[in-house]
Structure 1
């Protein structure tokens, strides 16, 4: 039975956090991680105002082969990172355990990761790994998406539910789109990136607790 873990980790405590670390105040979003050519390829989204600093800092890191611009949308840019992770890389271990990176956000100091492990045994193996490697991981929450305590909104927090409902009602998912994330952000009095993060996490949680529920054991 699958299990979901939310954790935090200092940026300097794991390889990718050190590579992506920039001093300017901003937030990075790790969209996904795809195993290409036998190694995990991270896709990272960053705000455009720190793009030049980010590119320069990442390219200078010795383990980075290349950083490729994938897409630019409104005030954010998506990059794919071509790098040579060590065998003891935290992200490599996550992929080896068939875990899914549901989302990750980071600053110069801290990263928050949300991971879905295929079983409690896989989670235990992951915990053994970071303890053996002396990586300072703080577990914030562990839960099973099939449990009835997901709540009336399928595990979504009230802000996630409110933002997702407002986005649908205002035509954010219509074609053509009737409202932008910035306009949604203005209506809630928060940043554009905060709205994007609420929508992403809300949709991810909703799908996990409705469409990806494990079959009960017979």
Structure 2
């Protein structure tokens, strides 16, 4: 059964962290890494700060061959990066243990990752590889396993996950409520009823694949 680990790593301890290191307070979010022609092309997003200075700094890195804008909205920009991958103990260890990168974000000092492994044994082997390679991985949380067929997001579809995350962040479940279903609907370009149904299904799926599963096993 899978296991999800949240860990922290200094930006200087892996190649992509060194490339994307910022001198200013800018958050970098790694969205995905797509394998193309035997190499991994990272797509990442930054918000606020000086995009021009960031772009020049990344392009000046000796391993970077191209940096391009995928799309831009308000103060957030999504980039793609072509690079020459050096030996990287951290990412190599994740790949060797069939780890799946769920989330990653950071800046000039520290990055935080969420990685899913197929088993606790794979996670232990990954940790040992980092230890042997002197990679100072700080394990912060280990999440309860979910059903093997639930996928990396506890069975949530991308629209369900994005809508539920937005609702929580904007205070939909707070008292008093910080945002309405109508306002949430405007954000995603769907109807008020569709938002309510999406949130209902998301919560049901999340509970089924986490709390109910754990209770049944206990």
TM-score (norm 1): 0.70
1:169 and 2:186 matched:
no
Highest Rg: 1 or 2?
A: 2
How far is the alpha carbon of 1:137 from its aligned partner?
Answer: 0.8
Cα deviation, residue 28, structure 1 = 0.8
Segments of 5+ residues of structure 2 without an aligned counterpart are 148-153, 155-160, 173-178, 192-201
Match of 1:62 in 2: 62
Change (3 A) 1:168 1:71: farther
- Counterparts of 1:82 and 1:93 in 2: how far apart (Å)? 21
1:181 aligned residue: none
Alignment match, 1:10? 10
1:40–1:92 CA contact under 8 A, matched in 2: no
Q: Number of residue pairs matched?
A: 181
1:7-156 alignment, distance < 5 Å: 7-146=7-146
Q: Is the partner of 1:172 in helix, strand or coil?
A: helix
Cα RMSD after superposing both structures: 3.5
Aligned-residue offset at 1:145: 3.1
Q: Structure 1 CA distance, aligned partners of 2:143 and 2:72?
A: 34
**TM-fit CA distance, 1:14:** 1.4
1:121-158 Cα deviation digits (max 9, x unpaired): 221221122111101110001122329xxxxxx8x9xx
Counterpart-to-counterpart distance in 2, 1:208 and 1:78? 33
- Aligned to 1:17, the other structure's residue is in SS state helix
Unaligned runs of 5+ residues in structure 1 are: 148-153, 179-201
Would the alpha carbon gap of residues 96 and 50 (structure 1) be closer, same or farther in structure 2, given more than 3 Å must change? farther
User: CA 1:120 to 1:209, structure 2 compared with 1: closer, same or farther past 3 Å?
Assistant: same
Distance 2:77 2:92 in 1: 24
Contact kept in structure 2, 1:39 and 1:92, CA below 8 Å: no
Q: Secondary structure at the match of 2:184?
A: coil
